[in-house]
A and B are shown apart, each in its own frame.
Chain A
Amino acid sequence: MSNEKQVIHLHIPSELGYEKVAMGAARSVAQKMGFSNDRILDLQTAIAEACTNAIEHGNRLNAAQRVEVVLTVEEGALAVDVHDRGRDAQFAEPQIYDHNNHRGMGMYIIKQLVDEVQWSAQPHGGQVRMVIYLEPDTVVGNGSRLPEEPRL
């Protein structure tokens, strides 16, 4: 693969269930890059959490609002940005698992599964950037029990 970054843009409606479309797209990109199945499952789960957060909390289930998922294929890494249109994008990065905090749990899961994650409030809404490395020095996450991929 060349050094040049290749970018895939995906827009999905803010309707629960469409996170699976993002998961499917991300799987195919990660497979193409040569990620192991365990890492792909980690990434898919992280994307599912980021997208459902964006759908529910960012865009408040307004189906007319889009969630934008940008996959950037870099040398040795895959970066995934999930953007919503939420106005109240204030994130406290959760450090511990709190089963009473639904949204926080999603963020906690993401943190465990990807190599880099950053939440930020942009002028147009909230954004989370997740990165996984092609050959991580340490194995992050646990790909053993994760949702089915959206295939047959």
Chain B
Amino acid sequence: MAQELKVAARYMGPVTVLDLQGDVTMFAESELTRAYHQAIDNGAQALVLNFAGTDYINSAGIAIIISLLTEARAGAITLVICGLSAHYQKIFRMVGLTQYAEVYDSEDLAVQELKKRGIGESAPV
């Protein structure tokens, strides 16, 4: 299927940006968890989920994001979100996801913010 999710990872020191391309639905589960664990195995301390390449997210997809967030919190990994359309920013707020993951308009803003917190580039942690 053409819209099946593909996730590409970009490593920027301890920050890893995961670029999501395609639909975030139940079909995305194995690809998303694979990319997540690969990034963690490669030493990522913070993850940016970049949704700029996706224009369909549904509740099953949100459930996958929730399980990643739960796992990230348990492992003291920072997970932030960027690239959502205004509509899906609203949806994420609506279901309460924004209490647990910060949402930035752009990847630059997300990475900057992580740097401010001391994650990124030369990580002192």
- Which residue numbers of A lie inside 8 Å of B, CB to CB? 1, 31-35
Contacts and interface: CB of A to CB of B under 8 A. Distances in A.
Nearest to B23: A32
Interface string B1-35: 11100000000000000000000000000000000
Contacts of B1: 1, 32-34
B18 to A, nearest CB: 24
Per DSSP, are chain B's interface residues mostly helix, strand or loop, or mixed? loop
The 5 closest A-B CB pairs, nearest first, are: A34-B2, A31-B2, A32-B1, A34-B1, A32-B2
A35 B3 CA distance: 11
Contacts of A31: 2-3
A1 B1 CA distance: 8
Interface of B: 1-3
11 contacts: A1-B1, A31-B2, A31-B3, A32-B1, A32-B2, A32-B3, A33-B1, A33-B2, A34-B1, A34-B2, A35-B2
A7 to B, nearest CB: 17
Contacts of B3: 31-32
Contacts of A35: 2
A1 B3 CA distance: 14
Nearest to A37: B2
A135 to B, nearest CB: 14
A33 B1 CA distance: 5
Given A1-B1, A31-B2, A32-B3, 8 more contacts: A31-B3, A32-B1, A32-B2, A33-B1, A33-B2, A34-B1, A34-B2, A35-B2
A63 B72 CA distance: 56
Nearest to B1: A32
A32 B3 CA distance: 7
A32 B1 CA distance: 5
A151 to B, nearest CB: 10
B6 to A, nearest CB: 14
A52 B1 CA distance: 30
A31 B2 CA distance: 6
A34 B4 CA distance: 10
Nearest to B2: A34
